[in-house]
Amino acid sequence: MNTYYLRPKDTLQPFVQQYIVLQNITSAADIAQKKLFTLGKQYLVFIQKGALAFKPNDHASFELPEASVTGPFTCAVNARVTGPLNAVVVQLNAYASHRLMGISMESVTNYFRDLTKVDSSWQFTAKALNNADNLDTIQNILDRVLEDLLPKQKPALRQVDEMVDYLAAQKGQVEMLDLALRFKTSRHTLERQFMEVTGLTPQLYSRILRRQRYA
């Protein structure tokens, strides 16, 4: 079992937080030990060998395809590994999937989207990662592909990015009415837009931030 953490290019901040390369993972315990696929996080996952499935509490189980976006999870999730598993994982921030790929994240919460059905070019990314024979090549592929998305950023609902960053800066210690007043919007509109961009309600996102603070 080997796990490698790679740093994305600075130009990808704040959207892309880290790359994780998993090799010869044989059990769900290996996944849990790495604290992957935790509450509130979004990930791109490229399966190179083996299989990875999830069963969130109170939600249906699912197996990830070759290239997918998964998360955020709002509850505990159990992983099932058919291995040995090799995979490349990209950890994103709370609004990256919507901003860079235009994905409505409310449909992905506790589930996944097949990236090749979002854009067929992800098939080439998955193939390139499968053929990569070293960590530098993997890092360069991901940097290039994700940098290519930057000029295609979706302008709609950009205010939600500011809300996410503000909540994170305040460590979730914000009342929803105060948040709505700060961003000059109704609470209903705030919740609807926040859910579309992040897959979470602002209340739940704040609770996750507070929990992480004391973890």
200 shares its domain with 109:
no
Place of tokens 């791109």: 44
Its pTM stands at 0.94
Tokens, residue 38: 């935790």
The total domain count for the chain is 2
Q: Which is nearest to 21 in space by CA: 34, 40, 9?
A: 34
What are 178's two structure tokens? Answer: 């105060």
Burial of 116 (0-12, 13-18, 19+ CB in 10 A): middle
Which one of 127, 152, 177 terminates a domain? 152
Length of the chain: 215
Task: Give the angle 204-208-210 at the CA atoms, nearest 5°.
Answer: 115
The CB-based long-range contact list for 126-130 (8 Å cut-off, 24+ gap) reads: 126/46, 126/66, 126/67, 129/46, 129/48, 129/88, 130/46, 130/48
Amino acid (1-letter code) at residue 175: E
CATH number of the domain within which 168 lies: 1.10.10
Do 101 and 11 belong together in one domain?
yes
**Residues 75 and 171 both lie in one domain:** no
Could you say which DSSP state residue 29 is in?
Answer: H
Alpha helix segments (H runs only) across the chain: 28-33, 96-101, 115-118, 122-131, 135-149, 158-169, 176-182, 187-198, 202-214
Instruction: Say if residues 177 and 210 touch (Cβ distance below 8 Å).
Output: no
- Segments in the chain below pLDDT 50: none
User: In which domain, by residue range, is 175 found?
Assistant: 158-214
The reply to whether 171 and 129 lie within a common domain is no
CA distance 75 to 86: 25
Give the end of a domain, one of 137, 152, 167. 152
pLDDT of the residue at 213? 67
Q: What is the CATH number of the domain that holds 16?
A: 2.60.120
Give the per-residue pLDDT at 115. Answer: 98
pLDDT tens digits, 55-93: 999 889 999 999 999 999 999 899 999 989 999 999 999
As given in the structure block, the two tokens for residue 49 are 């060998």
Q: In this structure, are 140 and 180 located in the same domain?
A: no
- Claim to verify: residue 79 and residue 121 sit in the same structural domain: yes
One domain for residues 126 and 174: no
Q: Which DSSP category does 155 fall into?
A: -
Tell me which DSSP letter residue 168 carries.
Answer: H
Q: Final residue of a domain: which of 124, 152, 180?
A: 152
Q: Do both 70 and 128 map to the same domain?
A: yes
**C-alpha 83: how far from its chain's center?**
23
- Same domain? For 107 and 167 the reply is no
